[in-house]
Amino acid sequence: MSANLIGLLYDATLQTLYMVAVSALLGTLFGLPLGVFLATSQRGELMSAPWWNTVLGLVVNAARSIPFIILVVAIIPFTRWVAGTSIGTTAAIVPLTLAATPFIARLVENAIREVDAGLIEAARAMGATPVQIIRKVLIPEALPGLVLGLTLAVVSLIGYSAMVGAVGGEGLGDLGIRYGYQRFMPDVMLAVVVILIVMVQLVQSAGEWIARLVDKRAPRNRGG
């Protein structure tokens, strides 16, 4: 493989990391509060708003039902309005964020719902407000599950970032299509696949390590 292709691989890897990191951050900023609300807003829950829970739940389900490649094409006018263009790494962040937000919201909702209801009742008995219960009970107790859920979301975004290369999103997916497929260069395709696998493994390992670190229930090894 030539030095030029190695340089292209390096640039494409940075582009993929940029797309995934920014869309994961934005998806979390939007998806985390949405997921918390979905987990606490059914009838009789902390922030009881069953009508809003139903409406937002339907919106989230609808957004998750759209195949990503179709979503990318369908929102091109919106992407152009937000990013000023419909091609490139910055433009790709728009559909990636829209795909990540409902996915993260459901992962957060599931993690929050796994918290022991007895803890919530105990906090209520001590006079804690719904916001205090969410901040000091639900999120800390659900933190390991939240970390694992966000890890899964980042892994999915890595795969989505490769797909977006098919419609001008740049990154490793674009490089694999233009060189590995269209120019019949299997070594480039193999390099792209290997880099993506390494990225997924690193993210998964880091997420599992952080989840163990923040899990108060996990046994701690003591020296001596």
Domain regions of the chain by residue span:
3-214
Question: Could you tell me how far CA 104 lies from the centroid of its own chain?
Answer: 6
CATH class of 3-214: mainly alpha
Distance (Å) of CA 6 to CA 72, 164, 165, 186? 28, 21, 18, 14
Interatomic CA distance for residues 205 and 177, integer angstroms: 28
Torsion angle, alpha carbons of 178, 183, 188, 194, to 10: 60
HSE-up (13 A, CA, CB side) for residue 88: 8
Check residue 165 and report its DSSP letter.
G
| Span 155-212, pLDDT tens digits | 999 999 988 887 777 889 888 888 877 777 888 889 999 999 999 999 999 999 999 9
Interatomic CA distance for residues 101 and 24, integer angstroms: 9
Interatomic CA distance for residues 201 and 162, integer angstroms: 16
Kindly state the percentage of the chain with pLDDT values over 90.
Answer: 54
* Token pair 């059914």: residue: 42
User: Cα-atom radius of gyration of the chain, to the nearest Å?
Assistant: 21
Kindly state the percentage of the chain with pLDDT values over 70.
Answer: 96
224: pLDDT strictly greater than 50 = no
